[in-house]
């Protein structure tokens, strides 16, 4: 089964009297357990497509099929349920809550699922240990490095054991050595958990780890 499939998917934005095509007739099939790169220059439509895959935005036309289910016309309540249970997100800017500790940032998705405190503590401590940041669990995000912040983001993305993780330029704000460590960690987590990853990236080291890549140019899949 495919984790993501689209049929003639398009996205337009209105700008005054003009209609701007961000994506045009995207037909793509990404299999389960993929570690896939989404490539293309700035303005090519990568972020728009990622937002649609992550159910943050909706296509103007066409079908989006997630795990075999056509969700093109799903309600916001249905989309929220899928996001909470089956999707994780890793962002270029980390998007950690600055007033919450490392532990609390990773724990937060579990609170939305209604897990009791003991179960949450066990899962979070195990995940923090797995990504190598247990000793920073009581630190605030501004007390740790960029690479450590991204490890927190990876832990948060995977804490609910989602089917798919969406990553938008996850190494763009990191130095070379730190970025290499993050790439290796993401790939290890993919192999360990069997989670599918779709990664928008300009980083050749990241794309070289990917099983397959998809190229976008001016909103068109090449």
| 3-state SS string for 53-79 | HCCCCCCCEEEEEECCEECCCCCHHHH
Instruction: Say if residues 4 and 71 touch (Cβ distance below 8 Å).
Output: no
Residue 206 pLDDT: 83
Residue 14 pLDDT: 82
According to DSSP, the β-strands at 35-39 and 18-31 are: unpaired
Instruction: Answer yes or no: is pLDDT of 190 > 80.
Output: yes
CA distances for 90 relative to 7, 13, 60, 100, 221, angstroms? 26, 25, 25, 17, 23
Residue 92 pLDDT: 87
Which range of residues forms the domain containing residue 184?
2-221
Work out the widest C-alpha separation in the chain, in whole angstroms: 55
CATH number of the structural domain spanning residue 112: 3.40.50.300
Residue 221 pLDDT: 93
Instruction: Answer yes or no: is pLDDT of 17 > 80.
Output: no
Number of domains, the chain: 1
Instruction: Answer yes or no: is pLDDT of 49 > 90.
Output: yes
pLDDT digits (tens, 9 = 90+) for 109-138: 999 999 999 999 999 999 999 999 999 999
Share above pLDDT 90 across residues of the chain, in percent, rounded to a whole number: 83
Instruction: Say if residues 102 and 128 touch (Cβ distance below 8 Å).
Output: yes
Residue 20 pLDDT: 84
Mean pLDDT of the 176-182 span? 91
């Amino acid at each position: 089964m495919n984790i993501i499939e689209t049929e003639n998917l398009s996205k337009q934005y209105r700008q005054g009297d003009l209609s701007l095509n961000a994506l045009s007739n995207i037909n793509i099939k990404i299999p389960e357990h993929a570690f896939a790169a989404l490539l293309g220059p700035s303005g090519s439509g990568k972020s728009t497509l990622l937002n649609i895959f992550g159910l943050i935005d909706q296509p103007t036309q066409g079908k989006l099929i997630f795990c075999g289910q056509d969700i093109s016309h799903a309600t916001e309540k249905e989309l929220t349920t899928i996001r909470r249970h089956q999707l994780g997100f890793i962002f270029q800017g980390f998007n950690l809550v600055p007033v919450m500790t490392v532990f609390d940032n990773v724990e937060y998705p579990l609170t939305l699922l209604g897990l009791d405190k003991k179960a949450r503590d066990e899962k979070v401590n195990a995940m923090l240990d797995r990504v190598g940041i247990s000793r920073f669990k009581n630190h605030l995000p501004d007390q740790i490095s960029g690479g450590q912040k991204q490890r927190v983001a990876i832990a948060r993305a995977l804490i609910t054991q989602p089917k798919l993780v969406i990553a938008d330029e996850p190494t763009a704000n990191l130095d070379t050595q730190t970025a290499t460590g993050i790439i290796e960690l993401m790939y290890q987590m993919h192999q360990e958990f069997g989670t599918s990853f779709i990664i928008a990236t300009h980083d050749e080291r990241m794309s070289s780890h990917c099983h397959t890549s998809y190229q976008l140019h001016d909103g068109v899949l090449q």
